[in-house]
Amino acid sequence: MLNIVIAGSSGRMGHSLLEAVLNDPELHLEAALDSADSAALGHDAGGSFGRSSGVKITSDTAVLSRGHVLIDFTRTEASMEYLAACRQHGCKLVLGTTGFSTAQKQIIAEAAKDIAIVFAPNMSVGVNLLINLVQSAAKVLSEGYDIEIIEAHHRHKVDAPSGTALRLGEAAASALGRDLGDCAVYGREGITGERDSSTIGFATVRGGDVVGDHTVLFAGTGERLELTHKASSRATFAMGALRAAKFLGGKKNGLYDMQDVLALR
């Protein structure tokens, strides 16, 4: 049985992860982490959904020495600290946080030489299938079709475009032999001139409690193809994260993503 540690236990995603772990007979909730200033410290990790877990929320990362896998969907600054603690204590990591800089991603890759990490901007099974579909579509629609990516999330999301939108853009660009960094357009305003056919555009929507919507639009002359994924519950990300944790059970080190977990490549 895998001993699981959850980071950001008092947050919306943390609640979904805790509930999913407590309902999975193959997993054991070993510990629940939160920030040092969290009002949830000392409270039962299952209290938010009316269940006694026997695990008190703590900010002490020493608990990672008892864990097999940490699941982290927090923010970049906290995630880098958790990454260092995982490396110190030999705990594997499922990392779903988004918004990392290039330098931070390099640190994650370096840590993967010592511990096994699944690093993915979206743990949803459906989204990861969408990534494959986008690659296939981009290869077929490589000429005469403009690619636009539209994403929507709740008002609390702090990064834009979403990590998932960027991953979809990378999938399309890769299929076309392009570098997303060279062809992405993240905003349009004023007199922009005609659209450059080699670009991939992004549009971001923030509002309400939208869990996560992503559409990749291939717009040609006389027709459009739209590939869309809509998440209605964070449970889909939690279930994907548990699959990733189980995947890491047999790994000593290395950097993986959900395409590896789901055997999609």
Which residues neighbour 248 within 8 Å (Cβ) at sequence distance 6 or greater?
69, 92, 93, 94, 116, 117, 118, 256
Look up 252 and say whether it is catalytic: no
Evaluate if pTM is beyond 0.85.
no
- Find the catalytic residue in 157, 214, 229, 252: 157
Look up 230 and say whether it is catalytic: no
107-122: pLDDT as tens digits: 999 999 999 999 998 8
187-200: pLDDT as tens digits: 999 999 999 999 99
Share of the chain above pLDDT 90, in %: 94
Domains defined for the chain, CATH in brackets: 2-119+234-261 (3.40.50.720), 125-231 (3.30.360.10)
212-236: pLDDT as tens digits: 999 999 999 999 999 999 999 999 9
Pick from 233, 73, 101, 211: nearest CA to 151: 211
Return the structure tokens found at 41: 């410290």
Provide mean pLDDT across the span 139-156: 97
Residue 47 — very low, low, confident or very high, per pLDDT cuts 50/70/90? confident
- Find the catalytic residue in 15, 68, 92, 153: 153
